Amino acid sequence: MASTGLNFQNLTPDNGAVRDLRKLIFLSVLGADQIGALVNFLPKQKHGEKVGFVGEFGLIGKASTKCNPVFDNDIISTSEKTWDIPEWEVAEKICYADLEGTLAQVGMKTKTDIADLTGTEYIDYVLMPRLELAIRKMLLRFVWFGDKTAKVVADGGILKAGTDVSKFTVTDGLWKRLFAIVAANPARHTAIAANAETSWTAQRAAFRVAGVATGTLDNLIEDASLVLRQSEGKVIYITQAFKDALDRDIKQNNKGSELQWESLFDGIAKSKYNGIDLVVIPFWDEIIQGYEATANANQYNKPFRALFSVKDNLLAGSESENEIADIKIWFNIDEQLNKILAKDKIGTLIAQDDLVQVAY
């Protein structure tokens, strides 16, 4: 039977090279840090619960009447949205027989306990660290790219043929909400013509034309609402594809000093553009290029994207106290199977629609 875990068939069990699974070297993967590094993560939220947002006063103040002033009753603007926080789960099983004769056997128990993998090096030092990383990336996928009505291209959606749609339909993510904001208010959209080209090669070539990348960022900032442009903590998130073209544009076309990028974690880096924090998120590219497409199989779905907002305006809510739910691992003696289960809930909201400007 097929079971969860590493493909140990590619590792030789009897050449004496590895006798301790803790000495395995993990290959580099596109990592994902805490959700809260990129958005405003709110624990202990409840499905269906109302969330109130407080704005600011409108115009106040007028010429003095000296004595007996007239008292106005101006009020602070408020708004309300509702959490939609569906439940997700990770449920996997491992059969010890799939590991026999492989490198994993060096960390297995023996005799009657051979089927029980709990507490072994395989679980503690190999499987668990990779599983926790996978769950973090899963949550990032839900938060940014979730779509409860997601479909493959053949059915009118944007997911590539063969994609497991259920991996995207748990909740509505921030990109779906951003597209909805743009549909309701086109002023919140800054167009990127290169995305409409009919192949990735053509899309990239069009965005590399001198002045396009820098011009897009300038337009993004200038198109934004004055409320956003005056906000504290504003930030621009971009795809890796956008960053590559931007660096090239600045370097080759005399647009000023090259951007100085500070590595934050796992491929995510930060710089400054016109005094605004600029953050590149390669994870966006991983999903866009790996799973999103258009009716034209050679064309990626909006590979050049930028989001200008305030981190605290982008909300991700969970019912638990932590971003990663508890992972339960146990051995079922009757079935002779090791089982893994994690459950929690996740949802997203954008607090204030005029605090976003989106380029794609």
3-state secondary structure the chain: CCCCCCCHHHCCCCCCCCCCHHHCCCCCCCCCCCHHHCCEEECCCCCCCEEEEECCCCCCCCCCCCCCCCCCCCCCCEEEEECCCCEEEEEEEECHHHCCCCHHHHHCCCHHHCCCCCCCHHHHHHHHHHHHHHHHHHHHHHHHHCCCCCCEHHHCCCECCCCCHHHCCCCCCHHHHHHHHHHHCHHHEECCHHHHCCCHHHHHHHHCCCCHHHHHHHHHHHHCCHHHHCCCCEEEEECHHHHHHHHHHHHHCCCCCCCCCEEEECCEEEEEECCEEEEECHHHHHHHHHHECCCCCCCCCCCCCEEEEEHHHEEEEECCCCCCCCEEEEEECCCCEEEEEEEEEEEEEECCHHHCEEEC
Long-range contacts of 179-188 (CB under 8 A, 24+ apart): 179/358, 181/350, 181/353, 181/356, 181/358, 182/358, 184/353, 185/353, 185/354, 187/223, 188/225, 188/353, 188/354, 188/356, 188/357, 188/358
- Mean per-residue pLDDT for 170-184? 97
Residue 12 within a domain: no
Residue 28 within a domain: no
* Alpha carbons 285 and 264: distance in angstroms, whole number: 17
Q: Which are the contacts of 45, defined by CB distance < 8 A and separation ≥ 6?
A: 51, 83, 85, 317, 318, 319, 347
* pLDDT at residue 219 in the model: 98
Domain that holds residue 333: 82-359
Long-range contacts of 72-75 (CB under 8 A, 24+ apart): none
118 vs 258 pLDDT, higher one:
118
Could you give the number of structural domains in the chain? 1
* Alpha carbons 34 and 12: distance in angstroms, whole number: 35
* pLDDT at residue 212 in the model: 97
**Position 264 pLDDT exceeds 90:** no
pLDDT tens-digit profile of 32-60?
446 778 998 888 888 887 776 554 545 55
pLDDT tens-digit profile of 219-259?
999 999 999 999 999 999 999 999 999 999 998 876 556 78
**Position 19 pLDDT exceeds 90:** no
**Position 199 pLDDT exceeds 60:** yes
Residue 246 within a domain: yes
Q: Quick count: other Cβ atoms within 10 Å of Cβ 334?
A: 5
* pLDDT at residue 165 in the model: 96
Residue 146 within a domain: yes
Residue 55 within a domain: no
- Mean per-residue pLDDT for 75-87? 73
Measured between alpha carbons, how far is residue 187 from residues 183, 192, 262, 271 in Å? 9, 14, 32, 26
Burial class (CB in 10 A: 0-12, 13-18, 19+), 300: buried
* pLDDT at residue 78 in the model: 53
Burial class (CB in 10 A: 0-12, 13-18, 19+), 273: middle
* pLDDT at residue 6 in the model: 47
Q: Which are the contacts of 214, defined by CB distance < 8 A and separation ≥ 6?
A: 246, 249, 250, 253, 255
- Mean per-residue pLDDT for 267-294? 92
Residue 8 within a domain: no
* Alpha carbons 287 and 191: distance in angstroms, whole number: 21
Residue 54 within a domain: no
